[in-house]
């Protein structure tokens, strides 16, 4: 039987470091995309408000709140999917998920 040191740099990099870096990159990207989509969504809302003001369309508060709920639900599903997928990289998934959360926080 081969003696494996679980604290060796090779074992740590493969089991902890690489999944962490992958999770960090995905979290950083997810945060940047979320910020971009919020910017885009805010612009669309301003255009809708202007169109409503000038009588081009009629925008009710309930329609706007419903659209916001749908968008928030989609964002939650997306983040849940990413965290679940990243948790499959290691036995416990903590390294990749921790990297995701740190990358999401840093952006």
What pLDDT sits at residue 29? 92
Q: Is the dihedral of CA 48, 53, 58, 62 positive or negative?
A: positive
Structural domain includes residue 75: yes
Structural domain includes residue 1: no
Mean pLDDT of the chain: 81
How far apart CA 95 and CA 62 sit, in angstroms, is: 42
Structural domain includes residue 14: no
Structural domain includes residue 15: no
Predicted TM-score (pTM) of the model is 0.70
- The count of domains in the chain is 1
Structural domain includes residue 50: yes
Structural domain includes residue 39: yes
Mean pLDDT, residues 56-73 taken together: 91
Structural domain includes residue 17: no
Structural domain includes residue 97: yes
Domain range enclosing 99: 23-106
Is the pLDDT assigned to residue 100 strictly greater than 60?
Answer: yes
Is the pLDDT assigned to residue 36 strictly greater than 90?
Answer: yes
Higher pLDDT pick, 2 / 41: 41
Mean pLDDT, residues 4-21 taken together: 61
Is the pLDDT assigned to residue 1 strictly greater than 90?
Answer: no
What pLDDT sits at residue 22? 83
């Amino acid at each position: 039987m081969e003696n494996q040191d679980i604290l060796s740099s090779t074992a740590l990099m493969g089991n902890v470091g690489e999944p962490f870096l992958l999770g960090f990159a995905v979290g950083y990207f997810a945060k940047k995309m979320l910020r971009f989509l919020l910017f885009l969504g805010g612009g669309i809302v301003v255009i809708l408000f202007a169109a409503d003001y000038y009588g081009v369309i009629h925008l009710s508060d309930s329609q706007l709140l419903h659209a916001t709920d749908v968008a928030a639900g989609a964002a939650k599903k997306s983040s849940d999917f990413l965290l679940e997928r990243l948790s499959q990289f290691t036995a416990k998934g903590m390294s990749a998920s921790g990297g995701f959360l740190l990358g999401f926080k840093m952006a």
